[in-house]
Amino acid sequence: MTRINPHELIWRRSSRSGNNLNCVEIARVPEAVAVRDSKDPEGPALVFTSTAFTAFLRRL
């Protein structure tokens, strides 16, 4: 597996979160999606395959 540097990713937050920092941010990486806590941008990020992330969103 390729090592991902979270500082090189373009992170985005839902427009519905407004100024609230209690949300998650996502970034696309090749064939995957990285997810992190917006309150802790220097903290860890979880990486899911695109298929797994899409399945998660469909079940919300």
pLDDT of residue 60: 82
CA-wise closest residue to 35 among 49, 45, 43, 44: 45
- pLDDT score recorded for residue 22: 74
Q: Comparing C-alpha atoms, which of 40, 37, 35 is closest to residue 52?
A: 35
What does the pLDDT read at residue 33? 95
pLDDT at 8: 87
Structural domain spans, the chain: 6-59
User: pLDDT tens string for the chain (60 positions)?
Assistant: 567 777 889 999 877 776 766 788 999 998 899 999 888 888 889 999 999 999 998 998
Residue 39 confidence (pLDDT): 85
